Amino acid sequence: MSSQNSPYNLPNAITVARILLVPVFVWLTLKFGLGHLSSWWGVGVFVLAISTDGVDGAIARRKGLITNLGKILDPIADKALTGAGFILLGYYGMLPWWAVALVLLREWGITVWRLVIASQRVVAANFGGKLKTVLQSIAIPLMLSPLVFLVPAIGLLGEILTWLTVVFTVVTGVQYLWASYGKRS
């Protein structure tokens, strides 16, 4: 697997498609609002986009199509999509802005940090980071779906899951930095 592969390949095209779906997700969510059957359109676009996250990487690894461009674009695509989701949760009052800011600071801060040290070493996602991504992938569309308005128990579950996601996001950010600090000593 070489970083010298052509950047014009299927995994990178999937990643670019994920990036292009972010404004569609935001637009549909804002256009239709929350609590209506039409709000499923925004949720559907989010689910489609987030589901491509593992697909692009799996294809790149299996077919030997890992590129430097892909290593840069993939985390940007992930953070743009989930970041937009958290901003929408803040916009609709489903999460306080301080929590949104904390999540965005962690997500973008760790991404920039990983890109900066990428020339020295690759910081692979740990189990906590992967669990955080799974939680985000469930909490964001759940909270933006009409289900939270139609079924009170799902609304409560969504709130609990969202706060658990915020905690995991912050904790895993601290873990990454702590692990990096330990390797420097």
Give the pLDDT confidence of 56-77 residue by residue, as tens digits.
989 988 988 888 888 889 889 9
For 128-153, what is the mean pLDDT?
A: 92
Of 103 and 185, the structure prediction assigns the larger pLDDT to 103
Residue 102 tokens read as 């904390």
Yes or no: say if 172 and 77 are a contact pair by the CB < 8 Å rule: no
- Say what the pLDDT of residue 130 is: 84
Closest CA to 82 of 118, 108, 116: 108
- Say what the pLDDT of residue 124 is: 65
User: How far is Cα 103 from Cα 69, in angstroms, rounded to an integer?
Assistant: 25
pLDDT surpasses 50 at 93: yes
* Per-chain mean pLDDT for the chain: 89
- Say what the pLDDT of residue 183 is: 65
Neighbours of 52 (CB within 10 A): 17
Which of the four pLDDT bands, split at 50, 70 and 90, describes residue 47? very high
Sorted by where each starts, the structural domains of the chain and their CATH numbers stand as: 10-184 (1.20.120.1760)
| pTM for the full predicted model | 0.90
User: How far is Cα 76 from Cα 74, in angstroms, rounded to an integer?
Assistant: 5
- Say what the pLDDT of residue 2 is: 46
Q: Which amino acid is at 52?
A: T
pLDDT surpasses 90 at 128: no
pLDDT surpasses 80 at 126: no
For 155-184, what is the mean pLDDT?
A: 87
pLDDT surpasses 70 at 44: yes
Q: How far apart are the first and last CA of the chain?
A: 31
Of 79 and 118, the structure prediction assigns the larger pLDDT to 79
Yes or no: say if 51 and 141 are a contact pair by the CB < 8 Å rule: no
Of 102 and 178, the structure prediction assigns the larger pLDDT to 102
